[in-house]
Structure formats: structure tokens, C-alpha cells
Structure 1
Amino acid sequence: MKHIGAVQAVVTADLSDREPSAAELDAIEQEMPVILAGVELLDAQINALDRTPNELDTRRIRRARHRVLTARRELANRSITIAGVGA
């Protein structure tokens, strides 16, 4: 029986060996306030799942949503300014 193997060398790199580029790390750093605000919102929502949400839970979720929207707005405004539209 013949052994069947790859005739050509691998063209693409293995994704598990790939490190993020400097540009990707910068993008993550720019989005970090949005990510953290989203985590805080999820935390508030998860805490409210265990029981009937009381007034404090409702306020915490509302404030967390507001932080997410604020972080998204600031990121969008920063992106527009960097692109040169707002400059």
C-alpha cells in the first residue's frame, strides 16, 4: 500500500503558534474600556438572575449599561478623530 502524504509545504502558519501583532494589541488596548464595561454589565445581569431583581440590582444594571454606552461613544469619537474626520 502507498503512503499518501502532502506533496507541498504548508502555506499557512498554524494559528495556535501565531502571536498577536502590535497593531492587534493596540486595537485591543483601545477597546479595553468597552470590554471592561461589558464585563461589568454581564456581572450585574448574572447577579440579578439568581433572584428577583430589587431596586439596587436595577440601578446597578442601568449604571453598567450607561458605562457601556459611554465607553462605546468615546471609542467611536476617538476612531473618527484618528481617521481625520473630526480633526
Structure 2
Amino acid sequence: MGKQPADMFGPRPVDLEGIEAEWPLIEAELSVLDAEIANIYAADHGGPSPLDWRRLRRAEARVTRVAAELAARPVVLKAVA
């Protein structure tokens, strides 16, 4: 199947609003990914240091905190055509 005409022009403003609203969580999850990659790399070079483990724990805690903040936001329902 080919692309629908609307898809050819990229995301709609409403799509971008959704991404922007969730960006803090996306950013927090990227921090976890970075910390996990650092730990994998460190495993091949003597093992993760206490600082590496702390960085991972802090990143995981940030994901939990940001997810809770997003869940606590009021939901705005929009009409669908």
C-alpha cells in the first residue's frame, strides 16, 4: 500500500503536540538507555563503577517520576471527526 496523502507531509500539529507533551518521558528513557549502554561498555573494560550504577539508578528513578507526573496530568479530550 502506498502512503496516504496526509502522511506525505509529515506529522500533523496535533501529532507534534502529543510528542511534545511526552517529550520529558522520552528524554528520561533515553537517559536510561545511555546509562545501560555505558554499563555494557564498562562490562568489557573491568566492570561498571559505582558511579555507573548510580547513574543508571538515577535515570530509572527519573523515568518513574516523569511517568507519574504525566499520568497525573488532566486528560484533555478532543472531538474526533
Give the TM-score category using the shorter length: 0.7 to 0.9
Residue 27 of structure 1: CA displacement? 0.4
Write out per-residue CA displacement over residues 30-84 of structure 1, whole angstroms, 9 at most, x where no aligned residue: 0000000011110011011112111101100000000111111111111xx2359
Decide which structure has the larger Cα Rg and report it: 1
Distance 1:15 1:58 in 2: 45
1:20 pairs with 2:15: no
Distance 2:24 2:66 in 1: 6
Residue 12 of structure 1: CA displacement? 6.3
Relative to the length of structure 1, the TM-score reads: 0.72
Distance 1:40 1:68 in 2: 9
1:82 pairs with 2:56: no
Across the aligned residues of Structure 1 and Structure 2, the Cα RMSD in angstroms comes to 2.5
Match of 1:32 among 23, 26, 29: 23
Letter in 2 for 1:48: N
Query: What corresponds to 1:67 in structure 2?
Result: 62
Distance 1:50 1:13 in 2: 42
Which segments of structure 1 move beyond 3 Å, counting only runs of 4 or more? none
Identical amino acids, percent of aligned pairs:
37
Relative to the length of structure 2, the TM-score reads: 0.77
Instruction: Identify unmatched segments of 5+ residues in structure 1.
Output: 1-10
Residue 16 of structure 1: CA displacement? 5.7
Query: What corresponds to 1:49 in structure 2?
Result: 40
